Structure 1
């Protein structure tokens, strides 16, 4: 790929830059970056400084109201056929409460598996993963299906070994109806065995959801034009870990791209948004979309998952135009980018995609099914390879520059084609369970 002297120099600097490692060190050293918390605010301040250091303009924080979920103590105790205690953690938006009931194993927690057993008045136990021949079934769909079938509580079992109970939001921005907790794979093995023996448990959760405040960190570069490219990444993380992979790597990748783009001669402007509260319901990006003139956005690039693993993945969410840009940049740089055109709603591009904005979500793939270390205590800085962050930051910048080229046409999404794509991908049940299915798609 032929690069102008300005951007070529910036790409060269990015290749050996130590700032990404320093940035992710500062971010992960904070500990919890839970949505609408003091830790998230401190993280926003770090991102704001990084944006200024990258040479961006109009850097500011935009605050918005957001529910703050506070995790208290959780106890899980087997009462029959033996007595013993297990470690468990409540999932965000879990209500406080006490439940006693019979264990029932619902396997992967697919709707068919839940329908096949009697969960009413019982405590459903489901795996975090899904069968290899099945569509992806999100945690919220499993939880929603169990609650709708009458379960008294829900236990989410990690499929990754290592005594790692998983976390993850139960809803998009409101307290759930029944308690739900995460347990390790090892604990799950005991619970499913006891479920076959008429096992009984008592679950107590101390948690609360209260009014709070979060913030998006905004900036821009390039000329003032009627349309611009919007680049987003969430910087919040779950309170049980450092959030290095999810999404420390993603926001660090965005900062690398910002440094490169700040030196580029762009046809149209590029806006940057580090968004809060992604992990608790895409609340920062929902606020951003609601306060943005959608017609002024040519395309959205969401950096969620990039920088974690070696090769970049670009999800085009039904946009042939953004998929074509990803293919062109991959071919021109001889850097592999795995391009997928099918949509999904579970990241910060969704508030824009459903409004018809063509998007790319930049991810990376470990080759394994599921989140791996994400959403567990093990999501720590030692898992990070900042070479991936630097390389993906450069590729992100080149993708954005291509989208910002006046010669690159990016038509808005056809909402009817989008709806059909979500139906074809069988997302309708999961999105309805999570409250994400648009009303006008009924």
Structure 2
């Protein structure tokens, strides 16, 4: 691929740059970056400093109000048959409370499996994964369906070994209805065995949801044009780990792209948003979308999952134009970019896609089912290969530069085609359970 001199120079510098690793080190050293926390505020200041250093203009932090969930202690133990204790962690927006009930194994936690058993007054135990070949069933759908069926508590069992209880929000920014906890695969094996023996557990969760504040960090490069490309990544993380993979890699990848884009001539301006509270309900991107004129956004590129694994994945969310851009960059660079056209609502592109803005979500694929180390204590800096961060940042910059070319047309999404795609991908039940299904699609 032949590059203009300024782009070639910027790409060459990015290839050798050690600043992404230094940034990731400082970010993960903060520890807890849960939405609304003091650690998230420190992370936002770190991102703002990195934006300035990368050459972005008009860098500023924009605070917004949130419901901040705060974790307390969690206790899970058998009442019968033998009274043993198990490690468990509360899931964000779980209410505080003490409950007891008989264990019931609901398998993967699909609605069909829950319907097959009696969960009324019981503690439902469900896996984090979904059946091979079946539709994806999100954690929120499993939890909501079990609660609606009368379960008094919900236990989410990791499918990845290693004594790693998983976390993940139960709702989008509001306190949930029944207590819910994550347990390791190893603990889950015991619980399902006890469920077969009519075992009963007691669960105690200490937590609170209080008024809080998060913030988005904004900046821009290039000319002041009526239309711009918006490049996003979330910088928050769950409080149980460093959040190196999710989404430390993503925000570091965005910074690599920012430094390249700040050094080159652009036809169309590029806006940057490092958004907060993604893990607790896309709250930062929802806030940013609410104050954005969608007609001024040519396309949105959301970096959530890029930089983690070797090969880049570009999710085009039904946009043929953004998919074509990803394929052109793959062909020109001879770097693999897997294009996936089906949409999903569980990342920061969703508030914009919902409004018709064409999008790309930049991700990467380990080849394994599920999140791997993500959303567990093991999401730590030692899992990161910063070659992936630098390479994906360069590719992200080239993708954005292509979208920012004046001759490149990126039509708005058709609402009817988008609705049909979500129905075809069988997202309707899960989105309704999570309160995400647009009223206009009813």
Q: Which position in structure 2 is the counterpart of 1:178? A: 178
Q: Which position in structure 2 is the counterpart of 1:80? A: 80
Whole-angstrom CA distance in 2 between matches of 1:67 and 1:389: 32
Matched length: 442
Whole-angstrom CA distance in 1 between matches of 2:11 and 2:302: 20
| Alignment map for 1:165-244 (pairs within 5 Å) | 165-244=165-244
TM-aligned CA deviation for residue 133 of structure 1: 1.1
> Deviations for 1:80-123, whole angstroms, at most 9, x for unmatched residues?
11110000000000000000000000000011000110001100
Whole-angstrom CA distance in 2 between matches of 1:331 and 1:142: 40
Q: Which position in structure 2 is the counterpart of 1:54? A: 54
TM-score using structure 1 length? 1.00
Q: Which position in structure 1 is the counterpart of 2:264? A: 264
Q: Which position in structure 1 is the counterpart of 2:343? A: 343
Whole-angstrom CA distance in 1 between matches of 2:206 and 2:263: 50
Whole-angstrom CA distance in 2 between matches of 1:206 and 1:326: 46
Whole-angstrom CA distance in 2 between matches of 1:106 and 1:347: 27
> Deviations for 1:2-55, whole angstroms, at most 9, x for unmatched residues?
111111101000001000100000000000000001000000011001000000
Whole-angstrom CA distance in 2 between matches of 1:116 and 1:346: 28
Q: Which position in structure 1 is the counterpart of 2:359? A: 359
| Alignment map for 1:10-409 (pairs within 5 Å) | 10-409=10-409
| Alignment map for 1:418-433 (pairs within 5 Å) | 418-433=418-433
TM-aligned CA deviation for residue 320 of structure 1: 0.4
> Deviations for 1:409-428, whole angstroms, at most 9, x for unmatched residues?
00000011000100000000
Please provide the CA RMSD for this pair.
0.4
Q: Greater CA deviation, 375-384 or 2-11?
A: 2-11
Contiguous gaps of at least 5 residues in structure 1: none
Whole-angstrom CA distance in 2 between matches of 1:229 and 1:272: 9
Whole-angstrom CA distance in 2 between matches of 1:118 and 1:439: 32
Report runs of 4+ in structure 1 exceeding 2 Å deviation. none
Whole-angstrom CA distance in 1 between matches of 2:230 and 2:30: 27
TM-score using structure 2 length? 1.00
Whole-angstrom CA distance in 2 between matches of 1:78 and 1:409: 61
TM-aligned CA deviation for residue 264 of structure 1: 1.1
Secondary structure of 2:175's counterpart equals coil
Contiguous gaps of at least 5 residues in structure 2: none
Whole-angstrom CA distance in 2 between matches of 1:237 and 1:195: 33
